[in-house]
Amino acid sequence: MTYCVAIKLNAGLVFLSDSRTNAGLDQISTFRKMIVYEKPDDRFMVLLSAGNLSISQSVREILQVEKLKDDEDDEGITIWNAKSMFDATRVLGSAIRHVYERDAASLKQAGVEFNVSLIFGGQIKGEGMRLFQVYSAGNFIEATPETPYFQVGESKYGKPVLDRVITPTTPLNEAAKCALVSMDSSLKSNLSVGLPLDLVVYEANKYQTDKVVCIDENNPYFKMMHNSWGIKLREIFDSIEDPTWDDGETDVPLIQPAGRSLPLKKITTPQEKLI
């Protein structure tokens, strides 16, 4: 499995992926889940993938040459000549369907589900930045100000911090930090997510970036963040008052395994108890 996250902000885009794949507890491998497509002063796009590795690798290869034709006389749209990120994402959807038509039946006979989840985002000159989540059928949805990030793979562990921190106005460096904290939470709770990580930070209207980094266990910033996050969480947890109990009863019963219901005592804060 894997974990990938991408964030769309007013200031730019942040992409982060891990590199672990496993087919069992004793078969763990490292494969990159991120690929960058860059044409300076024209377009900058990033693809993140999760799901069946053979399918995602096939999609990535076909995407380089895939042409989407709306009619017979059309020369075809590719990710390199598409006028919008929407059209480039249509090409990606077509590449997924291409792989499905070629491999799905054989995979099904082998008992393997056609499973791939992708995040595709970037900017093409002439329009603003856009971010899409693409599904196994080749259909997709786009990020909005209300939903400014997408996750694929083992997303549940890293979601809470994103929900609490990320808004469209979040600065790029702060969003990159948040994405790394989100990844650290996933690393902590799920063995199917693992180092090294690939991080790309893109500033709006630049059409290229030099903020591309591979993060391993020796990266000093990630080590500092991992240790600090754990310590700060514990400090905040310890600073919250423990619940106190009085002799009152609530109207909500506690159902016991034997079917007998008992009243719950009220939980109060120290301030409430003094009133």
Q: How confident is the model at residue 71 (pLDDT cuts 50, 70, 90)?
A: confident
Same domain, yes or no, for 254 and 166? Answer: no
Q: Residue 143 pLDDT > 80, yes or no?
A: yes
Contact assessment for residue 137 and residue 99, using Cβ atoms and an 8 Å cutoff? no
Apex 57 CA angle, 55 and 62, nearest 5: 95
Give the CATH number for residue 108: 3.60.20.10
The total number of structural domains that make up the chain: 2
Residue 52's alpha-carbon distances to 24, 118, 197, in angstroms, are 14, 11, 19
Same domain, yes or no, for 149 and 270? Answer: no
Q: Residue 146 pLDDT > 70, yes or no?
A: yes
Q: Residue 237 pLDDT > 70, yes or no?
A: yes
Same domain, yes or no, for 114 and 95? Answer: yes
What's the pTM? Answer: 0.88
Q: Residue 147 pLDDT > 90, yes or no?
A: yes
Same domain, yes or no, for 261 and 144? Answer: no
Quote the pLDDT of residue 74. 77
**Element holding 47 (H helix, E strand):** strand 43-51
Quote the pLDDT of residue 148. 98
Quote the pLDDT of residue 254. 46
Q: How confident is the model at residue 267 (pLDDT cuts 50, 70, 90)?
A: low
Q: How confident is the model at residue 269 (pLDDT cuts 50, 70, 90)?
A: low
Quote the pLDDT of residue 243. 80
Same domain, yes or no, for 12 and 50? Answer: yes
Contact assessment for residue 198 and residue 175, using Cβ atoms and an 8 Å cutoff? no
Same domain, yes or no, for 261 and 212? Answer: no
Mean confidence (pLDDT) of the chain: 90
Note down the domain range covering 255: 244-274
Quote the pLDDT of residue 167. 98
Contact assessment for residue 198 and residue 16, using Cβ atoms and an 8 Å cutoff? yes
Quote the pLDDT of residue 1. 73
Same domain, yes or no, for 127 and 257? Answer: no
Q: Residue 260 pLDDT > 60, yes or no?
A: no
Same domain, yes or no, for 158 and 215? Answer: yes
Same domain, yes or no, for 84 and 56? Answer: yes
- Reported as a single tens digit per residue, the pLDDT across 21-54 is 864 556 677 889 999 999 999 999 999 999 999 9
Same domain, yes or no, for 249 and 117? Answer: no
- Reported as a single tens digit per residue, the pLDDT across 165-212 is 999 999 999 999 999 999 999 999 998 899 999 999 999 999 999 999
For the CA atoms of 47, 53, 54, 57, what is the dihedral angle to 10 degrees?
20
Q: How confident is the model at residue 271 (pLDDT cuts 50, 70, 90)?
A: low
Same domain, yes or no, for 187 and 267? Answer: no
Same domain, yes or no, for 119 and 248? Answer: no
